[in-house]
Structure 1
Amino acid sequence: MTRHAFSAVHKASLSDSVYRQLADKILSGELPAGEALPAERELSEVLGVNRGAVREAIKRLQQAGLVAVRQGGNSVVLDFQTEGGLELLPNLLVHKDGRLNGTVVRSIMAMRSSLAPDIAAAAARKGGQRLADELDTLLARMRADARDLRALQQYALDYWKKLVERGGNIAFRLAFNSMTKTYTQVWDVLSGVLEAEFRDLDNLTAIAVAVRSGEPEAARAAGHRHVEIGRQALERALDAVERNGGRL
């Protein structure tokens, strides 16, 4: 128990604090794949928490694909890139020293660029008139609040939430949930970076029209044009951030 330095955690949300600390060490490589975690008793002592909090944290690590509990109760670190899922994305977005992980950001944007057109197409197949009406209502609010960038950002997120919820694809929905959790971590930073995308009402309107008329390919094309605006803007911003040391 001397090789890795741990910090005592605060008493609020004990298991969450333990989980985050252990997850950070695994994701950073400080606790490499194949290494055994210290025993519950040892972790409890060094972290200053009860064994129940440690046990719950390890259960969450197991569910996230970060550790495997072997026979006898020993926990062994897994290779998260092989065993983990999309729920790990928020943990990977920013390095421990505050630097933005550009590789992860670009990976998320690539996934978003691939998924968004299909999400729009699925909504056009299944959404119908009711969804089109809901999208038109959001578009009207976006036009009315055009000077409020933060409001546009929230409306844009609400717009895509409606598309994914009504498209009927559970895999798209779960992937979208994971991306949203990651996105909200840098919400304030992205409000300026993605402004042109939030103001792209032409393509959002085209998606709504395609949903109303049941034209999935038209929705797909508009969805691609829309997210490409944001991808290019974020790519430019990320290049600038990396030139400045990668800090948010």
Structure 2
Amino acid sequence: MGVVMFQAINKRSVSDEVFDQLCNRIVSRELKAGDELPSERLLSEMLGVSRNAVREAIKRLQQARLVEVKHGGMTTVLDYRMEAGADLLPSLLFDRQGKIQVDVARGIVRMRQVLSPEIAGDAAVHGRDITADRLDAIVDGMVAAIAPAELQRLAFEFWDVLVDGSGNIAYRLAFNSLRKTYEPIWDLLTQMLGRDLRKLDTFRQLAALVRQGAREEAMHCAREYIDSSSNAIYQFLDLYERHAQQKIK
């Protein structure tokens, strides 16, 4: 393993910062699969933190399937592409300079496109009246909303209810990961999706289709909406990528 530089930790949120620093080194491939981390004692000295903070961070890395702690305390980096789950997406979305990883972002948008119609269809089968009542109440709130940020919040709540209505735990966990990924770019998403957030007739129609139990129609409605909003994000990512390439030149 080559020499990897570490930075002293700001002690306001020690274990989180230790985790973030090690996680960033792993997903950036500075620490490669098969590399061994320094011992707890050495890491605590290098980072300027307590061994407890290092131990907590390594435990989180282990839970995220980024490292494996072997017998005797040796900690080995795993190949996150083969071992980790969707919870890692927020860490992959930005590089260490805070720039969006465009390929990762496109993959997240594509995942949203694939899952959303299925979620809506299953909600129409399993959710029906109870889910539709909740959806209608959210759309009523969207009608009254003025600020784009409030529309964005309610739109996410709308999809959150659809996920509940689908009755599918896999969709729920995937949605949780997507929502966590969106948090750092929430304001940016609000700007990109401004036009689609105001398609209140589409939200109302989707709620009605869920109430009717019309699975195929609900899927079609959701797909049209998601494809439109996804195209807005793709256009932004294309511009972002071109701008980044021009700066390099």
Amino acid at match of 2:236: A
**DSSP 3-state at the match of 1:244:** helix
Following superposition, the deviation at residue 166 of structure 1 comes to 2.2
Aligned pair 1:150/2:149, yes or no?
yes
Partner amino acid for 2:88? Answer: L
Instruction: For 1:188, give the aligned amino acid.
Output: D
Answering whether residue 49 of structure 2 is matched by residue 49 of structure 1, we say yes
Matched AA of 1:242: E
Amino acid at match of 2:119: I
The amino acid that maps onto 2:111 is M
Contact 1:126 1:167 in 2 (8 A): yes
Runs (5+) with no aligned partner, structure 2: none
Match of 2:159 in 1: 160
For structure 1, the 5+ residue unaligned runs are none
Q: Deviations over 1:119-149 (max 9, x none)?
A: 111111111212211111111121222x421
| Worse-superposed segment, 51-60 or 8-17 | 8-17
Q: 2:168 maps to what in 1?
A: 169
Aligned counterparts of 2:95 and 2:56: Cα–Cα separation in 1: 25
Using the size of structure 2 for normalisation, the TM-score is 0.95
Distance 1:24 1:177 in 2: 21
- Counterpart CA distance in 2 for 1:57 and 1:160 is 33
Q: Distance in 1 between matches of 2:196 and 2:183?
A: 16
Q: Does 1:205 align with 2:216?
A: no
Q: Could you tell me which residue of structure 2 aligns to residue 237 of structure 1?
A: 236
- 1:7, CA displacement in angstroms? 0.8
Q: Deviations over 1:143-193 (max 9, x none)?
A: 222x42111101100100111012110000000000000011100111111
Aligned partner of residue 121 in structure 2, secondary structure:
helix
Give the counterpart letter for 2:206 in structure 1: I
1:100-139 paired onto structure 2 within 5 Å: 100-139=100-139
Please tell me whether residue 215 in structure 1 is matched to residue 214 in structure 2.
yes
C-alpha displacement of 1:106: 0.4
Q: Structure 2: which amino acid aligns with 1:177?
A: N
Structure 1: how far apart are the matches of 2:85 and 2:53? 23
User: How high is the sequence identity, in percent, across the aligned residues?
Assistant: 45
Inter-partner Cα distance in structure 1 for 2:36 and 2:96: 22
How far is the alpha carbon of 1:64 from its aligned partner?
A: 0.5
> How many angstroms apart in 2 are the aligned matches of 1:196 and 1:227?
12
Q: Establish whether residue 187 from structure 1 lines up as the match of residue 163 from structure 2.
A: no
Deviation at 1:93, TM superposition (A): 0.6
Shift of 1:108: 0.4
How many angstroms apart in 1 are the aligned matches of 2:72 and 2:196?
A: 53
Tell me which residue corresponds to 1:34: 34
Question: SS state of the match for residue 173, structure 1?
Answer: helix
- The Cα RMSD (Å) is 1.5
Superposed structure 1 runs of 4+ greater than 4 Å apart: none
Work out whether 1:22 is the aligned partner of 2:18. no
Deviation at 1:4? 1.2
Contact 1:196/1:229 (CA < 8 Å) preserved in 2? no
Residue 92 of structure 2 is matched in structure 1 by: 92
Counterpart amino acid of 1:105?
A: A
Question: Is residue 66–residue 79 contact of structure 1 (8 Å, CA) maintained in 2?
Answer: yes
Displacement, 1:202? 2.6
Could you tell me how far 1:203 is from its partner in structure 2? 2.3
TM-score of the two chains, using structure 1 as the length reference: 0.95
How far is the alpha carbon of 1:194 from its aligned partner?
1.1
Partner of 2:73: 73
CA contact (8 A) 1:27 1:92 kept: yes
